[in-house]
Structure 1
Amino acid sequence: MELSDEDDRKASELLQPGARITVAGAGRMGLPISRNLAAAGFDVVVTDIRHEVADAVTAAGARWEPTAGAAAARADVLITVLPGIPEVRALMSGPASLLEALPGGATWLDLTSSSPLVMRAIQEDARSRGVAVLEAPMGGGPDAAATGTLQLFAGGDAATFRRLLPLLEVIADRVRLVGGSGLGYTAKLMVNLLWFGQAVATAEAVLLGQAAGLDAEASRVLLADSAAGSEFLRHDLKRVFGGDYLPLFGLDRCVEELEAVTELFRDRGVPSELSEVVTRVHGQALERFGPVDGELMAVALLEERAGSLLRPVTEA
């Protein structure tokens, strides 16, 4: 197909393979993302406070740089893939902010689930330095990161989103610009709130049915095929039946994100009675079990209080 001058101009604005990408964070998400970006032809440099991951980084086809400032100094794009809000704030604000090292004209892409309220001032600081900003918190776990099948909830200006699209499509197979700055973070918090809320409500409902004599699997099938059906009922509850509480994410991080949601409700003046209950139950699970890995440990708490595990009779 012959391209018009406008098509040529737009194509030249897209981030090209060979661009230098600095990834801050080589954990269970950052490392496979770095591997995929390197395999796609980007020049990937990775930094992390844990220097013991250096060998894993080089094995992934990326270059290791132990000093974050040096890693960012020549970046076309800085990607932050960090555990949560405190880590992003520590890295990107204050006197040791990595924004000090980023060259003007670079772009900061934040893949971390975070709070739009916390990140607003940091994003404004980045723009004041000539750094473009795009947030794109991730949906999906390490397996999806490894296969490039994450879901991204992007927030920022359309031009920055378009320019980074070749990179985003290496990371994810579902990429959506949901709106301006802050709205990507907000969308991801909405998803998390509903999912954690469904976990609590579903566990309570099925525990009730089990106590009344209904088999847990029979209850799951019945509810999944009703007006109350959800992806949680159709898929995730089966993992609980097998004793899997999704140890892909720390319980303390779940609470951190739910607390960010309740703060956002208060900031916007929106009623949040149910959301506060969901947050409180997860906080109680954190008090009971500590900061263990397990996104569904609130369900484990409810099982403990009911004195009954959610298990089908056929699997007992």
Structure 2
Amino acid sequence: MTTIGFVGLGVMGRPMAEHLAAAGHDVAGFSRGDASRSAARNAGLRVTDSVAEAVSGSELVITMLPDSPDVESVALGADGILAHLADGADYIDMSTIRPETARDVAAACIEGGHGALDAPVSGGEAGAREGTLSVMVGGESSTLERWRSVLQAVGASVVHVGPSGSGQVVKAANQLVVALHLQALAEAVVFLEAQGVDVGTALSVIRKGLGGSTVLERKTDSVLADDFRAGFRSELHAKDLAIVEAASRTAGVGLPATGLVAQLVRSVVARGQGGSDHSALVQLARSMNGGAHA
């Protein structure tokens, strides 16, 4: 059993913390929002009243937060994680943030005598609920091996991908692939509808061929039902693609298809659908083509 402080009990963080508790770990959770704290208590989690309380006495602290500034503030702030992390305790950030932020946070933790990993995840809300997330880990391999069994409580795949920041680089690449698959699905739906072909039947065939993907497996049924309730919010995917664009500019590489789909995801947000699932790219494609279900 490990004593774990878990900060960030939102759509992804709460089920992850629940899996850790179910695996026998002593989990003390904190979230900045009243609603998320209440939901976590209702789920049976032990919820504290501050970051300091969640961190104090923990052998390991995990964060699952929305963006880079949140991680910087919570991890490195005057009353944040590093200020209260016990001697010998380690820190794992499972948020999706800028690689350079992950490197800076890890460096501060290591300077303070703590192990640090960036371990973003893929799989969305469904993967968090099912405990089947894909975890891509940057940092020292020895630190990962110390906590591998903890990460396996939330992820079906836990893979070391390189030094600090590498997890975030791989997650950024994952997000560009997912976005391109979603746009391909959106355009396929519009094309099929325009040709008068039954979309459900067509996608069932495509899913079983070379055009199949996890995106099609996860999203086809909800798209066919015109259900765009968020499994992963469009506004968060827009943030992730902005990370890809910034990192690619720094590296001096051109990613034209990524640039286009990033603009399209931002258009979904601009349409007032930032809180909708990222599969709402289907609705944008329909709107661009005068579709009745836009």
Relative to the length of structure 2, the TM-score reads: 0.90
Deviation at 1:130, TM superposition (A): 1.0
Alignment of 1:158-173 (within 5 A): 158-173=141-156
Alignment of 1:144-293 (within 5 A): 144-221=127-204, 223-224=206-207, 227-293=210-276
Q: Does the 8 Å CA contact 2:268/2:274 hold for their aligned counterparts? A: no
Alignment of 1:1-316 (within 5 A): 17=1, 19-54=2-37, 56-221=39-204, 223-224=206-207, 227-308=210-291
Q: Does the 8 Å CA contact 2:118/2:164 hold for their aligned counterparts? A: yes
Deviation at 1:45, TM superposition (A): 0.8
Deviation at 1:222, TM superposition (A): 5.2
In structure 2, do the counterparts of structure 1 residues 296 and 176 end up closer, same or farther at CA, with 3 Å as the change threshold?
same
| Number of residue pairs matched by the alignment | 294
Could you say what secondary structure the match of 1:154 adopts?
Answer: strand
Once the two structures are superposed, what CA deviation does each residue of 1:234-259 show, in whole Å capped at 9, x if it has no partner? 55233211112251222211100010
Q: Does the 8 Å CA contact 1:39/1:61 hold for their aligned counterparts? A: no
Q: Take 2:292 and 2:83, find their aligned partners in 1: how far apart are those partners?
A: 52
2:214 partner letter: E
**Bigger Cα displacement from structure 2, 189-198 vs 147-156:** 147-156
Q: Take 1:159 and 1:132, find their aligned partners in 2: how far apart are those partners?
A: 9
Q: Take 2:276 and 2:77, find their aligned partners in 1: how far apart are those partners?
A: 30
Once the two structures are superposed, what CA deviation does each residue of 1:97-144 show, in whole Å capped at 9, x if it has no partner? 421111232111111122212322122111111111112111223343
Relative to the length of structure 1, the TM-score reads: 0.84
- 5+ residue gaps, structure 1, are 1-16, 312-316
Q: Does the 8 Å CA contact 1:240/1:310 hold for their aligned counterparts? A: no
Deviation at 1:22, TM superposition (A): 0.2
Q: Take 1:119 and 1:68, find their aligned partners in 2: how far apart are those partners?
A: 19
Q: Does the 8 Å CA contact 1:80/1:112 hold for their aligned counterparts? A: yes
Q: Take 2:270 and 2:44, find their aligned partners in 1: how far apart are those partners?
A: 41
Q: Take 1:310 and 1:174, find their aligned partners in 2: how far apart are those partners?
A: 37
Q: Take 2:67 and 2:76, find their aligned partners in 1: how far apart are those partners?
A: 14
1:211 partner letter: A
**Bigger Cα displacement from structure 2, 49-58 vs 291-300:** 49-58
RMSD: 2.3
Q: Does the 8 Å CA contact 1:156/1:179 hold for their aligned counterparts? A: yes
1:249 partner letter: F
Q: Take 2:27 and 2:210, find their aligned partners in 1: how far apart are those partners?
A: 47
Deviation at 1:151, TM superposition (A): 1.7
Q: Take 2:240 and 2:156, find their aligned partners in 1: how far apart are those partners?
A: 24
Could you say what secondary structure the match of 2:161 adopts?
Answer: strand
Q: Does the 8 Å CA contact 1:126/1:133 hold for their aligned counterparts? A: yes
Bigger Rg, which one: 1
In structure 2, do the counterparts of structure 1 residues 23 and 205 end up closer, same or farther at CA, with 3 Å as the change threshold?
same
Q: Does the 8 Å CA contact 1:43/1:62 hold for their aligned counterparts? A: no
Could you say what secondary structure the match of 2:191 adopts?
Answer: helix
Once the two structures are superposed, what CA deviation does each residue of 1:160-194 show, in whole Å capped at 9, x if it has no partner? 11000121111122211122211111111111111
**Bigger Cα displacement from structure 2, 185-194 vs 238-247:** 238-247
Once the two structures are superposed, what CA deviation does each residue of 1:182-213 show, in whole Å capped at 9, x if it has no partner? 11111111111111111112322342343244
Q: Take 1:91 and 1:179, find their aligned partners in 2: how far apart are those partners?
A: 24
Q: Does the 8 Å CA contact 1:246/1:295 hold for their aligned counterparts? A: no
Q: Take 1:116 and 1:140, find their aligned partners in 2: how far apart are those partners?
A: 20
- 5+ residue gaps, structure 2, are none
Could you say what secondary structure the match of 2:107 adopts?
Answer: helix
Deviation at 1:91, TM superposition (A): 1.2
Q: Does the 8 Å CA contact 2:219/2:279 hold for their aligned counterparts? A: no
Identity among equivalent pairs (%): 27
Q: Take 2:241 and 2:37, find their aligned partners in 1: how far apart are those partners?
A: 33
Could you say what secondary structure the match of 2:49 adopts?
Answer: coil
